[in-house]
Chain A
Amino acid sequence: MQSNQRIQFTSSKIEDLMFRTTFNPKTMEGDVIVNLSLIDKQDFDDVLKIFSMAINSGLAVSPLLKILHEGDSISGRKVGEGEVGFATVCSITIDGLLLKAGVMVKPRFGGLVEIRDGEPVRFTNVLTYHSTTIDPLEVLMSQELTSVMSMLKTGSGKILANLREAPMVARDVIDSTLADMVDAGINGILEVGEPNTRILDVPVERDHLGIVVIGGTNPMAIVQEHGIPIRTNAMSTLIDINKLSHINDLV
């Protein structure tokens, strides 16, 4: 076995990526964290339609993405013959931005959030980042527990989301950073909790507040719910934001 195959828990992978995030929402420059998904070429049109629908319904972190064709490579992973790749913005980018704004943010877990009549109600399944070497949202996608499509159609279902905690003293910086992000087209904040208050049925640490962000892998979950094979590698690498294009320019 190669030594570079040695296991690394997601929590340490996340910290590494957060440190390497350089995107500045005010100047619109720098690198963001992306998920890489590969599909079969013949499914391209269907998948693009699904992505467009999901992203325009707000079920993604950002409308920006990059399409990779045969032979293109990204962080050492090459898009193989007969394949198409999608690099989409990962929700951990938000943690990177908060960190660079000086907020000691702690990503805690990825999970499924139950949405009832358009309102997020509670987490129903979770995996903490320090307990797994595979991205929690990737794990949950493979368990066939999501119902993202039904959420879009009826307003009720289970979507992928993740939770981080931040110290309440940083509240003002958090608010202004999140506002800058929204201006820069990075959305996906599902809920910001009150200090010392449960968020979506999960208690937070003392003097902290919880922030729930929609998982960047929800569009992939929909693709999977349609029975189209998709191989997702969450939190893959970083990419210059100016190399990404708006979904509506691609459809």
Chain B
Amino acid sequence: MTDPNVERKLVEIMRIINESDKPLGARLIADELHNRGYAIGERAVRYHLRILDERGFTKKHGYIGRTITERGRKELNDALISDRFGFVITRIEELIYKADYNLETGKGNVIVNITNIDKNDYDNATDIIKYAMDHGATISPRVGIIEEDTDLDIYVPDGKVAIATVCSITFDGLLLNSGIPVVPVFGGLMQMEDYSPAGFLDLISYSGTSIDPIKIFLRRKATSILEAIDTGNGKMLANVRQIPVSAATRAEELLNVAAKHDISGHLAIGDPGEDVLYAPIERGKVGIPVMVGINSVAAVEEAGINVDTHPVSSVMEYSKMKKL
């Protein structure tokens, strides 16, 4: 293994190239590294780029600059585990900051999960999504539909349609925007009994994992959402955030207003310092569980339709999202 400090710079350079939609030259990379707190000159960047080329992680296109290779992209997923420990929560914090939906003006972005659906399955899938949303399985009944080439920010593979569902982390964005310090703590599997939440069966904390907790439950196929809707008993996905006790009243007011904007589906605000539906909460805090938007697409998978879902993946203008 190379020196961890060199390794870190190499990974940061790959991230910068990966985030760009066109080839990047050493000069631009050096500027961006500077923005990110790495004091490293253009010459040194060239030196690092040569290492990346040799390892087959980047590719040089004459004088235009470099792009990342498939191998480089894979390396980004595997490298620097000690950084990625906290990466799930870091990424979420970034999106919470970007979610600027304003409940007064009705303008701004919400956080969305992106699900790619085969065009042939589109009608069946949207029927199920609508069914799940009508029965309150998600935080919001609004969706965004992205066809190939209609949106430059979100990539849609050939032959697929992407559906954006509102992610429950949007809630955290609303809380932060009204000045409430909020920390998403757990994603979990919720037991539903008689059409209401009875308690969490399993929890995974947002810190201490390199894979998104909701993605983990989704891939484990742990849910029985259609059953929960039909019979009142089943398993759904939910997550929990905690806020200071003193902010609980403010949060409650906020939730009432949010409901008028089709953002609801919160289960309850817990009691100060008490477990909320068996999820442990710090002293001096209250826990707020929310049904995740992913439930609607998990229901689609339960019905045997294969879809590809990326939880907490992007932000989208909420006014452009419509009820199905």
Interface set of A (CB-CB < 8 Å, partner B): 1, 5-7, 9, 109, 111, 114, 121-128, 130-134, 139, 142-144, 198, 201-203
Distance A127 CA – B200 CA, assembled complex (angstroms): 19
Closest to B279 in A: A7
Closest to B7 in A: A201
Closest to A128 in B: B208
Q: For A139, what are the chain B residues with a Cβ–Cβ distance below 8 Å?
A: 204, 211, 216, 220
Tell whether, in the assembled complex, residue A114 and residue B78 are in contact, meaning their CB atoms are under 8 Å apart.
yes
Residue pairs across A and B with Cβ atoms less than 8 A apart, 30 shown, are A1-B193, A1-B199, A5-B191, A5-B199, A6-B278, A7-B200, A7-B203, A111-B81, A121-B1, A122-B78, A122-B81, A124-B78, A125-B210, A126-B85, A127-B204, A127-B208, A127-B211, A128-B85, A128-B209, A130-B205, A131-B205, A131-B207, A132-B202, A132-B209, A133-B203, A134-B204, A139-B211, A142-B216, A143-B219, A202-B81
Tell whether, in the assembled complex, residue A201 and residue B200 are in contact, meaning their CB atoms are under 8 Å apart.
no
Tell whether, in the assembled complex, residue B202 and residue A133 are in contact, meaning their CB atoms are under 8 Å apart.
yes
Closest A-B pairs by Cβ, 5 of them: A131-B208, A131-B205, A128-B208, A124-B78, A1-B198
Q: For A109, what are the chain B residues with a Cβ–Cβ distance below 8 Å?
A: 208
Tell whether, in the assembled complex, residue B205 and residue A132 are in contact, meaning their CB atoms are under 8 Å apart.
yes
Given contacts A127-B211, A128-B209, contact A5 B81 (CB under 8 A): no
Tell whether, in the assembled complex, residue B82 and residue A125 are in contact, meaning their CB atoms are under 8 Å apart.
no
Task: Provide the main secondary structure of the chain B interface.
Answer: mixed
Tell whether, in the assembled complex, residue A130 and residue B82 are in contact, meaning their CB atoms are under 8 Å apart.
no
Distance A133 CA – B213 CA, assembled complex (angstroms): 11
- Residue from B81, B199, B204 within 8 A of A6 (CB atoms): B199
For residue B307, give the distance in angstroms from its CB to the closest CB of chain A: 15
Tell whether, in the assembled complex, residue B204 and residue A133 are in contact, meaning their CB atoms are under 8 Å apart.
yes
Given contacts A127-B209, A128-B209, contact A201 B203 (CB under 8 A): no
Interface set of B (CB-CB < 8 Å, partner A): 1, 4, 77-82, 84-85, 191, 193, 198-205, 207-211, 216, 219-220, 278-279
Closest to A129 in B: B208
Task: Provide the main secondary structure of the chain A interface.
Answer: mixed
For residue B220, give the distance in angstroms from its CB to the closest CB of chain A: 4
Distance A1 CA – B235 CA, assembled complex (angstroms): 12
Q: For A111, what are the chain B residues with a Cβ–Cβ distance below 8 Å?
A: 81, 210
Closest to A126 in B: B210
For residue A143, give the distance in angstroms from its CB to the closest CB of chain B: 5
Distance A198 CA – B193 CA, assembled complex (angstroms): 47
Distance A128 CA – B193 CA, assembled complex (angstroms): 30
Tell whether, in the assembled complex, residue B204 and residue A144 are in contact, meaning their CB atoms are under 8 Å apart.
no
Given contacts A1-B193, A5-B199, A133-B202, contact A201 B208 (CB under 8 A): no
For residue B88, give the distance in angstroms from its CB to the closest CB of chain A: 10
For residue B135, give the distance in angstroms from its CB to the closest CB of chain A: 21
Q: For B209, what are the chain A residues with a Cβ–Cβ distance below 8 Å?
A: 126-128, 131-132
Distance A1 CA – B200 CA, assembled complex (angstroms): 10
Tell whether, in the assembled complex, residue A132 and residue B78 are in contact, meaning their CB atoms are under 8 Å apart.
no
Distance A139 CA – B212 CA, assembled complex (angstroms): 12
Tell whether, in the assembled complex, residue A143 and residue B78 are in contact, meaning their CB atoms are under 8 Å apart.
no
For residue A181, give the distance in angstroms from its CB to the closest CB of chain B: 27
Tell whether, in the assembled complex, residue A125 and residue B216 are in contact, meaning their CB atoms are under 8 Å apart.
no
Tell whether, in the assembled complex, residue B81 and residue A124 are in contact, meaning their CB atoms are under 8 Å apart.
yes
Distance A134 CA – B203 CA, assembled complex (angstroms): 8
For residue B48, give the distance in angstroms from its CB to the closest CB of chain A: 19
Tell whether, in the assembled complex, residue B205 and residue A201 are in contact, meaning their CB atoms are under 8 Å apart.
no
Distance A130 CA – B186 CA, assembled complex (angstroms): 12
Closest to B185 in A: A131
